[in-house]
Chain A
């Protein structure tokens, strides 16, 4: 049961859920949730390849750095959201389209 196929399937499901959340939601924080899902999917992929492909620890390192980067990304992203909220009193993503016109 535990093999590369199932792991890829799970990470695929995570990724698709992430994409769905990212595109369907109009709330910036919800979009960030979707991004976290996608990052998790990729990190899971790296770990799975490590286990089922070559048992080289590099995959774990990659996953670790994905987690690190994801945390940093979440911190900065949420900081931007909060600043945006202070300015616009909204966290609707389409309110951030001020570049238009």
Chain B
């Protein structure tokens, strides 16, 4: 296996620095030449021309969390799957593809059963009437 030098990360650092530079630079540049006349009305949040009512930082519907939950589980799954997928070809060439196929299958199918569970229980349905908790934020339907 070939060794590698950490210099390959140079572009990453440079690009991140550039991103900060571009964004910061353009904002600074604009700050020098653009007008700045704030007033109270200008600084209120937009709410269809009305006075904003309360804060927007209210608690949201729990469906968002369930989506994020399924996401993170599959995210982790993919993190585990990537290295195994990367060696699949090599294993296949030396004749061990069958065992790897089996392990990948069982791994994926176990997770899919979780997805099916959530599906059957209705966690994947966005519009479903949960008439349980009174919620402040029900606008997102």
- A residues within 8 Å of B by Cβ? 64, 67-68, 71-72, 74-75, 78-79, 82, 85-86
Partner of B72, one of A64, A74, A85: A74
Main secondary structure on A side of the interface with B = helix
- B38 CB to closest chain A CB, in angstroms? 33
- B residues within 8 Å of A by Cβ? 59, 62, 65, 69, 72-73, 75-76, 79-80, 133
- A62 CB to closest chain B CB, in angstroms? 14
A64: which B residues are within 8 A, CB to CB? Answer: 79-80
Give me 25 A-to-B residue pairs in the complex whose CB atoms sit less than 8 angstroms apart, sorted by A's number. Answer: A64-B79, A64-B80, A67-B76, A67-B79, A68-B76, A68-B79, A68-B80, A71-B72, A71-B73, A71-B75, A71-B76, A72-B73, A72-B76, A74-B72, A75-B69, A75-B72, A75-B73, A78-B65, A79-B65, A79-B69, A82-B62, A82-B65, A85-B59, A86-B62, A86-B133
| A78 to B62 CA separation, bound complex (whole angstroms) | 11
| A67 to B73 CA separation, bound complex (whole angstroms) | 12
Nearest B residue to A69 via CB reads: B76
| A86 to B75 CA separation, bound complex (whole angstroms) | 27
- A72 CB to closest chain B CB, in angstroms? 7
- B129 CB to closest chain A CB, in angstroms? 17
| A64 to B81 CA separation, bound complex (whole angstroms) | 12
A78: which B residues are within 8 A, CB to CB? Answer: 65
- B137 CB to closest chain A CB, in angstroms? 14
Nearest A residue to B132 via CB reads: A86
Nearest B residue to A70 via CB reads: B76
B62: which A residues are within 8 A, CB to CB? Answer: 82, 86
| A82 to B72 CA separation, bound complex (whole angstroms) | 16
B73: which A residues are within 8 A, CB to CB? Answer: 71-72, 75
A86: which B residues are within 8 A, CB to CB? Answer: 62, 133
A79: which B residues are within 8 A, CB to CB? Answer: 65, 69
Nearest B residue to A2 via CB reads: B6
